[in-house]
Amino acid sequence: MLVETHNLRFPTQGFCHVVEITGEIQANLDQGSIRNGTVTIFVVGSTGGVTTVEYEPGCVQDMEDLYNRLIPPTRDYHHEKAWHDGNGFSHMRASLLKPSLVVPVVDGRLRLGTWQQVVVLNFDNKPRQREVCLQVVGVE
């Protein structure tokens, strides 16, 4: 049994920036030796999340609209009383979506649907580097 760790780091814009990383995950799997198991995709930090979506401009815009509607930046958040950094909404969005996603790896490939891509969302209210840990557990 093997455990292989990969770390991604990339710049993001703020509020609800959707970054597609399916290709990068697969490229990291291709460089390792695990052929069957799982990959845990984990966003380090408390203002980001990860999920899958059909990655096309309409769905990306719909995700922005969805989070603006469910958890708007314009409400008052208690988090800001202590920190005054204006990103209370970012923390709530991230805690709802959650920072991890586990995808089966079968015969060396992510077991995704054809129109199902892995996306990382930066909910913070400013551009920032995001760090994503890929933890692959399985067998050759």
- Min separation Cβ 13 and its own copies, Å: 18
Alpha-carbon gap, residue 39 to 48, rounded angstroms: 18
Of 38, 41, 31, 29, nearest to 108 by C-alpha is 29
- List the x/- string, 6-35, binding to its own copies by CB under 8 A: ------------------------------
Of 37, 41, 11, nearest to 108 by C-alpha is 37
97-126 binders of its own copies (CB under 8 A):
97-106, 111-113, 115-117, 119
Stretch of 9-17, 22-30, 72-80 lying at the interface with its own copies (CB under 8 A): 72-80
Alpha-carbon gap, residue 58 to 120, rounded angstroms: 16
- Counting contacts by CB under 8 A, is residue 61 touching its own copies? yes
**Long-range CB contact pairs, 78-85, < 8 A, 24+:** 85/125
CB 47 within 8 Å of CB 94:
yes
Site residues, its own copies (CB under 8 A): 1-3, 5, 36-38, 40, 42, 44-46, 51-54, 56-59, 61-63, 65-66, 70-71, 77-83, 88, 91-92, 94-106, 111-113, 115-117, 119, 131, 133, 135, 137-139
